[in-house]
Structure 1
Amino acid sequence: MPSHRRTLLKVIILGDSGVGKTSLMNQYPLNLAIWDTAGQERFQSLGVAFYRGADCCVLVYDVNSLKSFDNLNNWREEFLIQASPSDPENFPFVVLGNKVDVDGGNSRVVSEKKARAWCASKGNIPYFETSAKEGVNVEEAFQCIAKNAQKSEEEEEIYLPDTIDVGSSSQPRSTGCEC
């Protein structure tokens, strides 16, 4: 059975301006198509073309900014509306709490516990605390992102059989993180 697969995975990285999205992206030199809003968050609705076809969505906030954390809901909802994934309940997201290095952690306002609780409430989204500046947990986070994006892409794989059996049903899918 021949299959047609894309060789490039599309990862969308979203979050408020200044949370470190570009810095995180630049720390991880893997061959992913990572689409960064490049500080244009003021255009909240970035358009369907930006989001469509994504294999994973990374939500980034600054652990020193409650507002950037509170806005994760908006970014997640905006992505689901614009991308219209076929199975929104199981679409792979990863959350990164960035800038853990700032001020030796003394200016932190969002606890790891609070962030993990939010991720659990959204279907057990994988969570990593990172420092793009110092490279803390960036490799591990992007390994998980790449794994989830690849898993998502494989589940969307299109098979072109020689004959079509209209009586077969599709198997249930799971996109749980095993990172």
Structure 2
Amino acid sequence: MASRKKFLKVIILGDSGVGKTSLMNQYVNKKFSVSYKATIGADFLTKDVVVDDRLVTLTLWDTAGQERFQSLGVAFYRGADCCVLVYDVNNAKSFDNLNSWRDEFLIQASPRDPDTFPFVVLGNKIDVDEAKRMVSGRRAQAYCLSKGQLPHFECSAKDGENVEVAFEAIARQALAQDESEIDYFDPTVNTGFPIESGGCSC
């Protein structure tokens, strides 16, 4: 076990209502709420995990999906080690917008090497009736392949299916991205932007 704990910053992006906050809460707190409350600005949760015998602290940033908050991106994206793109498998538009979220992140975060920066794609709400599904797994996999073989997981924030596995992969990607030096952005520092706790984007 490493003596020095690493801090890894993960940004979670996607349209409003795809379940970003719910995925975070399911992973960190093993809880799900059926109530919906849009995230204002950004919210974050932390969790200590062990990745390949390394103790790391994941700082998961849940950013608002509403367009009026996208301009807040620079402060929140700075120092990110991995970006998670979330869509609702029952909402084709949320899938179609993944490209916009990915491009916006690369512009705002300005990673040292945009071509190799790690993204992970999550398709949420697979617990909903299969007949209502609008985005097939094959279509999502084709998108991920076209973007450089991005890891892709289908999951359910409601019942927890595949959530743990997905975030283990996210932690691994984040650790690999910045193994030698962590540019850690302290989430407790006031950015001047609203930080809200307890939101649920179910």
CA RMSD of aligned residues (A): 1.7
Q: Could you tell me the TM-score, scaled by structure 1's length?
A: 0.81
Aligned equivalent of 1:132, options 148, 152, 157 = 157
2:10 partner SS: strand
2:104 matches 1:67: no
**What secondary structure, in the 3-state scheme, does the structure 2 residue paired with 1:100 have?**
coil
Q: Which residue pairs with 1:24 in the alignment?
A: 23
Q: Which has the higher strand share?
A: 2
Structure 1 gaps, min length 5: 159-179
Higher RCO structure (Cα 8 Å, ≥6 apart): 2
TM-score by length of 2: 0.72
CA contact (8 A) 2:84 2:120 kept: yes
User: In the alignment, what sits opposite 1:118?
Assistant: 143
1:130, 1:137 within 8 Å by CA — same for their partners in 2? yes
- What residue number does 1:171 align with? none
Aligned to 2:187: none
Partner letter of residue 112 of structure 1?
G
Taking the aligned partners of 1:156 and 1:77, their CA distance within structure 2 comes to: 25
- Paired residue secondary structure (2:17): coil
Q: Considering only CA atoms, is the larger Rg found in Structure 1 or Structure 2?
A: 1
Task: List aligned pairs for 1:1-179, cutoff 5 A.
Answer: 7-29=6-28, 30-31=47-48, 32-103=58-129, 105-156=130-181
CA contact (8 A) 1:16 1:71 kept: yes
**Contact map agreement 1:45 1:78 (CA 8 A) in 2:** no
Q: What do residues 15-73 of structure 1 show as CA deviations (whole Å, max 9, x unaligned)?
A: 00000000001111233111101454442332311111000000000000010000000
Q: Secondary structure at the match of 1:106?
A: helix
Q: Cα distance 1:34–1:113, how it changes in 2: closer, same or farther (>3 A)?
A: same
SS in 1 for 2:72: coil
Aligned pairs, how many? 153
Cα 1:19/1:157, change in 2 over 3 Å: closer
SS of 1:102's partner is coil
Runs ≥4 in structure 1, deviation > 3 angstroms?
38-42, 155-158
Quick one: distance in 2 between partners of 1:56 and 1:125? 12
Cα contact 1:15–1:41 (8 A) shared by 2: no
For 2:147, give the aligned amino acid. K
* Contact kept? 2:153, 2:162, Cα under 8 Å: yes
Task: State the identity as a percent.
Answer: 71
Give the whole-Å Cα distance in 1 for the aligned partners of 2:123 and 2:170.
14
